[in-house]
C-alpha cells in the first residue's frame, strides 16, 4: 500500500489498567482521541475528535467534502501546529463560509458528524461514471483488508476506510469516526490529483447518507462496506449512479444500487 496504519506511532494509543470478568487486573492499550481544530484561512470551521494521524489530509479532505473549497481551488499552504492541535488551510480566494454555516445538518456519524446543507444538495448534480466490478475483486479485498495489520486489530474502537484499485488496497486510513477516515482519503486524493473514477472505497462503517454523499463528492463510483445500509443512503446511491455494496463478509454481500455493473466471475 502507498499509505497504511502506522503501528509504530505510540502517540496513537495509551495503556490503561482495569479488571476483567474474573476480577484479575489487566493492562490493555486503547485508542487515543484528541481534538483537532480546522481553519480555512482566518476562519475556524470545526473542531473534530480524531486519533491524530494525517491531520493535514483530514483538514483538506473535510473542507473539500464540505464544498468549502472548490475542485480547482489553489491551496497556498497547509500548516499544522502540534502543540495547539490546529490545522490552517490557506487558499488563494476567500470562501463563502458565512452562507454555508447557516445550513448545518447534524448527521448520524460517529463522534457527532456535521455537514453543510449545500453539500447534501450538491449530490443531485452528480452522476458517477459506470464502473464494472468483478465479484472476485470483492472477495480478494474482503480477505486482504481483514488481515492487514491495523490499529483496529491492535486496540479496536476505530473505523477504517480503504481506497482500492480493483482488488488492491492503495490507501488505508483509520479514525474514531468513519467520516474522519473518509476525509483523510479525500485529502490524499485532492492533494495528489489522483483519478477517482476507477477506484473503490471500502469502509468498515454503515452506508449512511453522509458516507454516500462524501463518496459521490469524491467522484468514486463504488462504495463497499462490511456493515449495513440506511434507506436514505441507498436512495442517494441510486440518484448518483453509485454502485453500493454492503454486508460484505467472506463470499457474501448485498448490492442495493448498480447491480447491473457486477461481473460474476467467481461464483
The position carrying cell 486519533 is 51
pLDDT, average across residues 79-96:
91
pLDDT of residue 1: 86
Closest CA relative to residue 263, chosen from 220, 222, 234, 225: 222
pLDDT of residue 157: 86
pLDDT tens for each residue of 115-145: 555 556 678 889 999 999 999 999 999 999 9
14-18, 52-56, 149-153: the lowest-pLDDT one? 149-153
Q: Say if CB 114 and CB 131 are below 8 A apart.
A: no
Q: What is the pTM of this model?
A: 0.90
pLDDT band of 111, cuts 50, 70, 90 = very low
Give the CA-trace dihedral at 249, 254, 256, 260, to 10 degrees.
110
Dist CA 19 CA 212 (whole Å): 40
Dist CA 119 CA 226 (whole Å): 25
pLDDT tens for each residue of 196-236: 999 999 999 999 999 999 999 999 999 999 999 999 999 99
pLDDT(114) > 80: no
Compute the mean pLDDT over every residue in the chain, rounded to the nearest whole number: 90
String of b and e for 213-246 (b: at least 16 CB within 10 Å)? Answer: bbbbbbbbbbbbbbbebbeebbebbeebbbbbbb
Domains and CATH numbers, the chain: 34-119 (3.10.20.10), 133-263 (3.40.140.10)
pLDDT band of 105, cuts 50, 70, 90 = very low
Amino acid at each position: 500500500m502507498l499509505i497504511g496504519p502506522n503501528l509504530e506511532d505510540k502517540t496513537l494509543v495509551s495503556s490503561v489498567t482495569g479488571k476483567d470478568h474474573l476480577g484479575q487486573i489487566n493492562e490493555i492499550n486503547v485508542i487515543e482521541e484528541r481534538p483537532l481544530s480546522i481553519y480555512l484561512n482566518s476562519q475556524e470551521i470545526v473542531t473534530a475528535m480524531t486519533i491524530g494521524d494525517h491531520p493535514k489530509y483530514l483538514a483538506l479532505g473535510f473542507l473539500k467534502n464540505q464544498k468549502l473549497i472548490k475542485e480547482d481551488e489553489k491551496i497556498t499552504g497547509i500548516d499544522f501546529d502540534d502543540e495547539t492541535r490546529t490545522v490552517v488551510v490557506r487558499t488563494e480566494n476567500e470562501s463563502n463560509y458565512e452562507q454555508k454555516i447557516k445550513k448545518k445538518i447534524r448527521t448520524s456519524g460517529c463522534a457527532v458528524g456535521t455537514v453543510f446543507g449545500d453539500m447534501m444538495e450538491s449530490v443531485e448534480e452528480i452522476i458517477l461514471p459506470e464502473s464494472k466490478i468483478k465479484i472476485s475483486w470483492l472477495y480478494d479485498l474482503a480477505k486482504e483488508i481483514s488481515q492487514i495489520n491495523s490499529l483496529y486489530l491492535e486496540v479496536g474502537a476505530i473505523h477504517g476506510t480503504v481506497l482500492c484499485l480493483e482488488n488492491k488496497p492503495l490507501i488505508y486510513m483509520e479514525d474514531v469516526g468513519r467520516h474522519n477516515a473518509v476525509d483523510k482519503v479525500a485529502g490524499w486524493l485532492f492533494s495528489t490529483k489522483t483519478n477517482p473514477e476507477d477506484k473503490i472505497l471500502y469502509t468498515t462503517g454503515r452506508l449512511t447518507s453522509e458516507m454516500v454523499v462524501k463518496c459521490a463528492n469524491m467522484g468514486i463510483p463504488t462504495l463497499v462496506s462490511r456493515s449495513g445500509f440506511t434507506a436514505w443512503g441507498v436512495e442517494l446511491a441510486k440518484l448518483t449512479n453509485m454502485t453500493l455494496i454492503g454486508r460484505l463478509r467472506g463470499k457474501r454481500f448485498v448490492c442495493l444500487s448498480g447491480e447491473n455493473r457486477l461481473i460474476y466471475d467467481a461464483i
